[in-house]
Amino acid sequence: MVIFDLDGTLWDSGESVGASWNIAIQRAGYGFTVTADDLRRNMGKTMNEIADDLFGVLPEKERYELARKCEVFENAYITEHGGRLFEGVRETLKELHETGVIMSIVSNCQEGYIPAFLTSMDMHSYFVDYEEWGRSGLLKADNIRLVMERNGAEKAVYVGDIQKDADASAKAGVPCIWAAYGFGHIDKPAGVLNEFRELPQVLKKLGYK
């Protein structure tokens, strides 16, 4: 099984997420804004961690309440407007799917974000399962194991773009392939993707599918 991170690995939704959050923030009566880069540098964190960073001037309860409002509006906005797939993602996923590779997505995002991605990008058919921090309440390592268990996968590899992805993979007992075109760096990955279309070759070298 191949398990993917989402942001920084399959797509960049920073512009759409930033636009949706600013609408939600304004509607909630606040005068500040966030940028796409603010969101990108927080990709991979849980939504509460992002709220701590971006809304840290607010009391804890208030910042998390605002984050929930942003999440709900974001899901609807992303479903309609989507994001930007990284080059080669659609073609490569289609190739892997057609050759029988079992694929899923695990992200530290809010509940509903992965379905918004799948719907907006018309990719439901490529993935057998997914899990989100907001749905399970579990962190990435536990969600990786959960998806593997649900699908009877004894062997898996995780594809992510930041060190937290690699750390979660190690904790889950699976190797991590670094999406080097993404938002961060990974020390000592099992494999490296300079572009997404290299994935079939890297998987072959690692003996995974």
- Show the domain range for 162: 2-12+85-206
pLDDT of res. 106: 98
CATH code of the domain in which 77 resides: 1.10.150
pLDDT of res. 209: 60
Shared domain check, 97 and 52? no
For the chain, 209 residues long, give each residue's pLDDT as a single digit of tens.
999 999 999 999 989 999 999 999 999 999 999 999 998 888 878 889 999 999 999 999 999 999 999 989 999 999 999 999 999 999 999 999 999 999 999 999 989 999 999 999 999 999 999 999 999 999 999 999 999 999 999 999 999 999 999 999 999 999 999 999 999 999 999 999 999 999 999 999 998 76
Q: Is the pTM of this model over 0.85?
A: yes
Shared domain check, 92 and 140? yes
How far is the CA of 36 from the CAs of 16, 41, 42, 70, 128, in angstroms?
8, 9, 10, 14, 30
pLDDT of res. 47: 85
Residue 25, judged by CB atoms within 10 A of its CB (0-12, 13-18, 19+), counts as buried
Structural domain count of the chain: 2
91: which 2 tokens? 């073609």
Shared domain check, 114 and 167? yes
* 3-class SS of residue 44: coil
CATH code of the domain in which 161 resides: 3.40.50.1000
Q: Which residue has the tokens 């636009």?
A: 19
Domain boundary among 53, 81, 109: 81
* 3-class SS of residue 77: helix
